[in-house]
Structures are given as C-alpha cells and as structure tokens.
Structure 1
Amino acid sequence: MDDGEREKALLTALTTEHYALQTSRAGTIAEATGRATIFLSVLSAALIGLGFVATNDKVVRPYLAAVLPTLVIIGVLTFLRLVETTVENSLDLRRIQRIRAYYHHRFAAEHDFFADAVIADDAMSTAWNLVGTTPGRWEFMLTTAALVGAVNAVLTGLGIALVAAAAGSGGVLTVLVGVLVAVVAFGVQFVYIVRKSAGRRA
C-alpha cells in the first residue's frame, strides 16, 4: 500500500470513527435524559401516593418506610450510571476533537477550517471550551448526575429526619440533623463525580 492509499484509508477510518463517536455522544445524552426522567417520574408518583395516605396515620408511616428506601436505591443507581454517561460523553468529545485537529493539520492548509480543534496541552479543557463550557470542577454542578444527586441527598436527609423524629428528637434537632445529612450526602456524591471524571480524562 503506497502513501496515497494509506492516507485515503486513514481518512475513511477517521470519518467512520467521527460518525461513531457522534452517535455515541447522542446515545449517552439520550440515556442520561431517559434515566433521569424515569427516576423523577417514580419520585412524582411516590409524592402523589403520599398525598392520598397523608391523612391516615396508620398508613403514612409504613408507606414512607417502604417508599423512601426504594427511592433512594433507585436514585443512587441512577446517579451512578449518570456519572458514567458524563465521563463517556467527555471522552467521546475529546476523541472527536483529536480527529478534527487531524483534519486541520492535514487538509486545512492556509484556511482556518477546524482551527478551533487544535489540541493544546490540556486536551480535555480544549475540547470542552469548543462547546461553550468552562472546564472546572464546579461545572459538574450543572450535570444531570448532580441534579439526581441533589434529589438523593434531600431524600436521604428526609429519611434520617423522620427516623430522628420517630426516636423522639425535638423539632429543631430533627431539622438540623436532616439538613446536615442532606448536605453531607450531596457533598459525597459531588466528590464522586469530580474524582470519577478526573480519573478518566487521560
């Protein structure tokens, strides 16, 4: 195979890979949206059910005892998968930008086509800048995973507050315990998002 044929074969492979990565990104976004929608739909159904049993003291406690752990489990599983889709999306974006950078170096010549894809020292930051996102750990607060993590934290804090109230704790103490647990739960999940994402940037 001469250089011309090799170049043509490489370009064909890169074009195919580019399309596959774009499809993969679309798939991760669709999956994240679908999973978050399912979780929030289950949460909404649980709240509607709570409205029906809230006036019956004999039913409301068993209902909450069954529903809250279920919601937390579903929420945690949803959160873990959303973190994975966030990482997968980031890696796909970086790989796409590497292909676009090749297009620029090999074919653009004096034109500025694909010039924004030239890889800098921090390839991941460059990739995210191209889609209008400022790289940084606080940017993860805006992800779907962080949204679900916040709901999980509230549910966890609520569950602990109800347990504290059932144990005879005062109203103020119960609220403080619930808020503290919720804040800690969200912090743990946020740290997990950041570490998981940082560990897969290479």
Structure 2
Amino acid sequence: MSWIDVVPYAAAKGKLKKLYDRVKGPDDNVDNIMMAHSLRPHSMEGHMAIYKYVLHHSGNTLPKWFLECLGVWVSSLNDCAYCVEHHFAGMKRLLADDTRAEALRAAIEKRDMAQAPLDAREVAAMAYARVLTDAPARLGVGDIAALREAGFDDGEILEINQVSAYFSYANRTVLGLGVNTQGDIIGLSPNNSDDPDDWSHR
C-alpha cells in the first residue's frame, strides 16, 4: 500500500475515523493516497479540501472531463502511474466516449498533444501545464497572454493552473511514499460538485 505505516479503516478512531467516513467509497474503501496521510489526519483533511475545491467544485467553468485530462497529463509527465490510472478512469467515465478517451491516453503517452482529439484552446492549456510541470521557472507573462489569446479568461487560466499544480503535489505524495493501487477501487472521486462538503467517493 505504501512505504510508511498506515491506519486501516477498521482500526481508525477519533478524527481519522471521521475523515475516513467522509472520503470512503463502497464497502468502506478508502483510496490509498488518502490512507497514506493517516498518521497525520490534518494533512489528509488539507489534501481533500484542495482536491475537492480545485477539481470537483461547482464554481469551476471548464468541463470536468478536461480538468481530469489535465490531471492525467501532468501525472503522466511525472511518471505517476497511480494518478494516471485513477484519473484516466474518471476522465473516461465523464467523456462517455471510449474511443476518444483512448485516443487522448495514446497522445498523452506519446507526449504528443498535437495528435490528441482536442481543440486548439485545449492544446494550449496542455502546453502550459507541461511547462508548469517540467520547468515552472520558465513561465512568464507571455504564457498567460498565450492562454488568453487561445480563448481562456483569467478565471479559467486559474483553474488550469490550480489543477496542474495540485496534480504535481498529489504525484509527489504518491511517488515519495510508495503508494500503490492495491485494494483501491480505480476511478472513484468526490463527484458531487454541488456540495463542496461532500467528499465521499462514488
């Protein structure tokens, strides 16, 4: 599950048990990325809050499938198979188009967004996310201007930035602690965007 000790659901007490109950999925399943925080429940709480607000909030205007696609892209750039598998499954479900989802994954694996079934605006967002992931200090005001020219408003640019930044954080949590998918139910997420306090995974 991970390289550090974790507290299983059955042994959780107090605040940790309350948090597990908020984030769990079917059959009391808690994703391993969340269980990796179990020795410091306050960091799980912070992680879930930013995850829910950045990716699964009704205040976002970009399509959720595309935010998930950005997450798969960043996770692939970071070689984080755990997040790729979880969020590709989520993206595929949201797209409801298996052929397009598989074509997106193939382009991501080839690092060739020009071959992805995306429009020019979406390709521009993916290019920004790549630089933010691989060489963030290279970014400048011109990169923001390019996103505006592609058709994004500044609120949407913030969404792209925050989703991309969040996934690098999640990837480093997973890779730095040896978190794997053993026992996870792949692709569950807190999809109820209308209720920011609903963290349950379905």
TM-score, normalised relative to structure 2: 0.23
Structure holding more helix per residue: 1
TM-score, normalised relative to structure 1: 0.23
Tell me which of the two structures has the higher relative contact order, counting C-alpha pairs closer than 8 angstroms and 6 or more residues apart: 2
Structure showing greater Rg: 1
